[in-house]
C-alpha cells in the first residue's frame, strides 16, 4: 500500500538546447562527473566546491563532523561572508569588478540606484563600523525589519563582516510577530526604515518597531533608514537615522576571521504547530552551498542581470538575492514594490528596460500573470531572458508550459528548484545545461545531495508510488538547529527516522528517477483511505482553460473521512456557476480520476495568501469545515479576501 497515491501523469520532456549546454557553467560532462563524485563521496564533492567557489582565510581540517543530528562542516576553517561577497571581487584577477554593478535597485515609484562592487564594499565597511560604534560585538544578534531597499543588503553584509548574526523579519509581519522574534533572538539593535512604497503609496514600518520595542527590553538601539520621508517619531537615546550615523563612519573595516560554524543568521519560519522556529544557519557550509548552487543552477555569467523576485525577508532572498549571487560576483537586480503597479505589466516592462537575463520567481506569481492575460508580457521585448526559475511550491504543468511559452519564448531552460528555509540552499533541481526537464518535476537532487522517497518505517518506496521526501545524508547548507530549542530541532526534523532529515513534504519518483513534489504532508488528504496530494488536484483544476487559480483542502466527511473542497478562481471573462463546476469536476475526473473529484466547489475571485504569496490553506480548511472563527491571520496579505470567500458561491 503506497503512502500517498500519485495520480498525475505528465509525459512531456524538454532537452537542454545545444547552444545553452555548450556555454553552461556546468555542461553535461561536468554535471555527470560531479553527480558521480557526489553520489560516491559527498564530502569530497563539497570539499572540492568549497575550495573552488569560496575563499578561506584558514583551510579546514575536517570536511564533515556528523554526530546526528548535529553536523559541522569544514571544521577548523576560517572565512568571512562579506569578504567573499565583496573584497575578493576587488582584488587580483577580479579587481576589474570594482566598477561592475553588484546591485541594481528600482523603487516602486520608479527611482533607481546602482551600487558597484566598489561602492557596496565601502557602504558595508562603513555600516559595519556603525554597528561596532553601537556596541555590537561578535555573536550578538541584530534584527532587520526593512523594505526591499539596498540598505537591507548593506546591513546584512555589515553584520556578516563583524560576525553579528542577523535575524531578518519580513516587513509584512505585524508588530507582535516582530516583538516575538526580537525577543526570541535577543536582538540588541533593530534596523528599520520609516517605511517603503507598495501599490503606489507609502507604508510605515517604524511605528511597528516602536510598538514591538515596548515589549522587547533587549533592544538598545534602533537605526532608521529614510526611505519615504513621511513624518517619523524618533525616541531620544534609542533611535538614530542611518544617514546621520553613516556620515561620520570610517570606510575602513577589516572582515572578522570567523569560524566555519560561526552563526550567520537566524530566520523564523512557521511550523505546523507552536510558535515560529528560529532556523539557524552558519557560515562556511551555507556559503559553499549557496555559491555553488547559484553558479551551477542559474548559470551566472559576468554579463548577466539576474533577478530573483523574492523579498529578502524570506530564505530565497537571503540565499539567492544576496549571498549566493554576490559571492559569484554577479549583478543582482532588486525591486521594491508589487508586480502590478502602476500596471499589470510592471515586471515585463522592467525586464525589457533593464535587459534582465535570468528571472527567478514563484508559481503563485506565474499563475497571477496567467490570469492577468498574455497581452502584458507580449507587449514587451523579453528576448534578453535566457533562463527562468521557479521556487516555493509545486508548479503545475500548465503554469510551467505557460512560463516556457509566453515568458521564455520556448528557448529558456526552466529550473524548478525544491528547497526550504531549513535546507539553506537548493536541493532538488534541474541543471540547465545538462538535465532534461519535465513540466512540474524538480527533476534530480543536486550533486552531493542524497534524497529518497521513504515510507513511515523508513523503507524506500518503489517508483512511481508516493511517500515522504527524505534527505539521507547531511549537506553543507543544512540548518544547525532551532534557535534556543534543541529538543524541537530533534523532534521536528530527526525523529521520524534514524539519522535522516524529514522535510515534511510528500513526493514520488517516476520511472526515470525524477522527483515530483506533492506538497506538504499536512496538505495531504485521506479520501476513502486513499491519500491524495492537494497539489495534484489543484494542478488538474488549473489545467482547465477557464480556471486561473485553485486551492484544495480537505474537510471532515462522514462517509469518505475527508471530502475535497476546491476554492476556484475563474479566469477574468468566465462566469462562475454550476456549469463551470461541472466542467471542473469533469476535468479532475479526466486528469486524475473520480476519486479526486471535489465534493464542494466554491468560486471566489481571490485566495487568501501570505505576503510571500503562499496560499493560506489553514484558513481555507477552517472555512471549508464551516468553523466560525479562524486562527492566526497575522501574515494574511489582504483581509477582505476572507470575508468574500465566506460568502463565496457554492455551485
Positions in the binding site for ligand PRX (CB under 6 A): 269, 315-316, 390-394, 416-421, 442, 503-505, 517, 519-520
Per the structure block, which three cell numbers stand in for 513?
528517477
Cβ-count burial 580-608 (b if 16+ within 10 Å, e if not):
bbebbbebbeebbeebbbbbbbbbbeebb
Tell me whether residue 115 or residue 401 sits nearer to ligand PRX (CB atom).
401
Number of CB atoms found within 10 A of residue 409's CB: 12
Residue 345: CB minimum distance to ligand PRX, A: 26
Tell me whether residue 329 or residue 608 sits nearer to ligand PRX (CB atom).
608
The residue to which cell 514591538 is assigned = 212
Distance from C-alpha of 221 to C-alpha of 11, rounded to nearest angstrom: 57
- The H or E element spanning position 315 is helix 315-317
Instruction: Work out whether the CA dihedral 483, 485, 487, 489 comes out positive or negative.
Output: negative
Residue nearest to ligand PRX (CB): 421
Cα angle: 26, vertex 42, 491; to 5 degrees: 120
Distance from C-alpha of 173 to C-alpha of 634, rounded to nearest angstrom: 7
Measured in residues, the chain has a length of 651
Cα 459 to Cα 2, 496, 499, 516, 528, distances in angstroms: 11, 12, 14, 18, 24
Tell me whether residue 184 or residue 505 sits nearer to ligand PRX (CB atom).
505
Distance from C-alpha of 587 to C-alpha of 537, rounded to nearest angstrom: 10
Tell me whether residue 260 or residue 297 sits nearer to ligand PRX (CB atom).
297
Residue 395: CB minimum distance to ligand PRX, A: 7
Q: Torsion angle of alpha carbons 254, 259, 261, 266, nearest 10°?
A: -20
Residue 390: CB minimum distance to ligand PRX, A: 6
Residue 577: CB minimum distance to ligand PRX, A: 32
Cα 380 to Cα 355, 361, 371, 383, 384, distances in angstroms: 11, 18, 17, 9, 11
Distance from C-alpha of 611 to C-alpha of 383, rounded to nearest angstrom: 30
> Contact, 387 vs 297, CB < 8 A?
no
Tell me whether residue 424 or residue 474 sits nearer to ligand PRX (CB atom).
424
Residue 301: CB minimum distance to ligand PRX, A: 23
Tell me whether residue 42 or residue 519 sits nearer to ligand PRX (CB atom).
519
Tell me whether residue 225 or residue 312 sits nearer to ligand PRX (CB atom).
312
Cα 144 to Cα 165, 179, 438, distances in angstroms: 11, 12, 39
Residue 369: CB minimum distance to ligand PRX, A: 17
Residue 614: CB minimum distance to ligand PRX, A: 7
Tell me whether residue 107 or residue 474 sits nearer to ligand PRX (CB atom).
474
Residue 63: CB minimum distance to ligand PRX, A: 25
Residue 103: CB minimum distance to ligand PRX, A: 21
Tell me whether residue 321 or residue 563 sits nearer to ligand PRX (CB atom).
321
Tell me whether residue 288 or residue 421 sits nearer to ligand PRX (CB atom).
421
Backbone angles phi, psi at 520, to 5 degrees: -65, 145
Tell me whether residue 350 or residue 366 sits nearer to ligand PRX (CB atom).
366
Per the structure block, which three cell numbers stand in for 51?
575550495
Residue 220: CB minimum distance to ligand PRX, A: 31
Distance from C-alpha of 261 to C-alpha of 116, rounded to nearest angstrom: 30
Backbone angles phi, psi at 397, to 5 degrees: -50, -35
The residue to which cell 515586471 is assigned = 347
Going by the DSSP 8-state scheme, the letter that residue 15 receives in this structure is P
Residue 428: CB minimum distance to ligand PRX, A: 7
Amino acid at each position: 500500500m503506497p503512502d500517498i497515491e500519485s495520480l498525475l501523469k505528465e509525459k512531456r520532456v524538454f532537452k537542454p538546447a545545444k547552444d545553452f549546454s555548450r556555454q553552461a557553467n556546468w555542461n553535461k560532462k561536468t554535471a555527470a562527473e560531479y553527480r558521480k563524485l557526489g553520489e560516491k563521496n559527498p564530502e569530497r564533492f563539497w570539499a572540492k566546491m568549497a575550495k573552488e567557489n569560496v575563499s578561506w582565510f584558514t583551510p579546514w581540517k575536517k570536511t564533515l563532523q556528523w554526530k546526528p543530528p548535529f553536523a559541522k562542516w569544514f571544521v577548523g576553517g576560517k572565512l568571512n561572508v562579506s569578504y567573499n561577497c565583496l573584497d575578493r571581487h576587488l582584488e587580483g584577477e577580479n579587481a576589474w569588478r570594482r566598477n561592475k554593478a553588484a546591485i541594481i535597485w528600482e523603487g516602486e515609484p520608479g527611482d533607481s540606484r546602482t551600487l558597484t562592487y566598489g561602492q557596496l564594499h565601502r557602504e558595508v565597511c562603513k555600516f559595519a563600523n556603525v554597528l561596532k560604534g553601537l556596541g555590537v560585538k561578535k555573536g550578538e544578534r541584530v534584527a532587520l525589519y526593512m523594505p526591499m531597499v539596498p540598505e537591507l543588503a548593506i546591513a546584512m553584509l555589515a553584520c556578516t563582516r563583524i560576525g553579528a548574526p542577523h535575524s531578518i523579519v519580513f516587513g509584512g509581519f505585524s508588530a507582535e510577530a516582530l516583538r516575538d522574534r526580537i525577543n526570541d533572538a535577543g536582538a540588541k539593535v533593530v534596523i528599520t526604515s520609516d517605511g517603503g512604497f507598495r501599490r503606489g503609496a507609502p507604508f510605515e514600518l517604524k511605528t511597528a518597531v516602536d510598538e514591538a520595542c515596548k515589549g522587547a527590553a533587549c533592544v538598545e538601539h534602533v537605526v532608521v533608514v529614510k526611505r519615504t520621508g513621511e513624518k517619523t517619531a524618533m525616541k531620544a537615546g534609542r533611535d538614530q537615522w542611518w544617514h546621520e550615523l553613516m556620515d561620520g563612519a570610517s570606510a575602513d573595516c577589516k572582515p572578522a576571521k570567523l569560524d566555519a560554524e560561526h552563526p550567520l543568521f537566524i530566520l523564523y519560519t512557521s511550523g505546523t504547530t507552536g510558535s515560529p522556529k528560529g532556523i539557524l544557519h552558519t557560515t562556511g557550509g551555507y556559503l559553499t552551498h549557496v555559491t555553488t548552487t547559484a553558479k551551477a543552477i542559474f548559470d551566472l555569467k559576468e554579463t548577466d542581470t539576474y533577478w530573483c523576485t523574492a523579498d529578502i525577508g524570506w530564505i530565497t532572498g537571503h540565499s539567492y538575492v544576496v549571498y549566493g549571487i554576490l559571492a559569484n560576483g554577479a549583478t543582482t537586480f532588486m525591486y521594491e514594490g508589487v508586480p502590478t503597479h502602476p500596471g499589470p505589466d510592471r515586471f515585463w516592462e522592467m525586464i525589457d528596460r533593464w535587459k534582465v537575463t535570468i528571472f527567478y520567481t514563484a508559481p503563485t506569481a506565474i499563475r497571477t500573470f496567467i490570469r492577468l492575460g498574455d497581452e502584458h508580457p507580449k507587449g514587451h521585448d523579453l528576448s534578453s531572458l535566457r533562463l527562468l526559475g521557479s521556487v516555493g511550491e509545486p508548479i503545475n504543468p500548465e503554469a510551467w508550459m505557460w512560463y516556457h511559452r509566453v515568458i521564455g519564448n520556448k528557448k529558456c531552460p526552466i529550473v524548478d528548484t525544491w528547497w526550504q528555509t531549513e535546507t539553506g540552499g537548493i536541493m532538488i533541481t534541474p541543471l540547465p545545461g545538462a538535465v532534461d526537464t519535465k513540466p512540474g518535476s524538480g527533476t534530480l537532487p543536486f550533486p552531493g545531495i542524497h534524497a529518497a522517497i521513504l515510507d513511515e518505517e523508513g523503507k524506500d518506496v518503489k517508483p512511481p508510488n508516493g511517500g515522504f521526501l527524505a534527505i539521507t545524508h547531511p549537506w553543507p547548507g543544512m540548518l544547525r538547529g532551532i534557535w534556543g530549542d534543541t529538543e524541537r530541532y530533534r523532534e521536528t526534523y530527526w525523529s521520524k527516522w534514524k539519522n535522516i532529515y524529514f522535510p515534511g513534504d510528500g513526493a514520488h519518483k517516476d520511472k526515470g528517477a525524477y522527483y515530483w513534489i506533492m506538497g506538504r504532508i499536512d496538505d495531504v488528504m485521506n479520501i476513502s483511505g486513499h491519500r491524495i496530494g492537494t497539489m495534484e488536484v489543484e494542478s488538474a483544476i488549473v489545467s482547465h482553460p477557464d480556471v486561473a487559480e485553485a486551492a484544495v483542502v480537505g474537510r471532515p466527511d462522514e462517509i469518505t473521512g475527508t471530502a475535497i473542497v476546491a476554492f476556484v478562481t475563474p479566469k477574468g471573462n468566465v462566469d462562475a456557476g454550476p456549469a463551470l463546476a461541472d466542467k471542473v469536476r469533469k476535468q479532475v475526473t479526466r486528469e486524475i480520476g473520480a476519486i479526486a473529484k471535489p465534493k464542494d466547489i466554491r468560486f471566489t475571485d481571490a485566495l487568501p495568501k501570505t505576503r510571500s504569496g503562499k496560499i493560506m490553506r489553514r484558513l481555507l480548511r477552517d472555512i471549508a469545515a464551516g468553523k466560525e472563527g479562524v486562527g492566526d491571520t497575522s501574515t494574511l496579505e489582504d483581509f477582505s479576501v476572507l470575508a468574500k470567500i465566506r460568502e463565496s458561491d457554492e455551485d
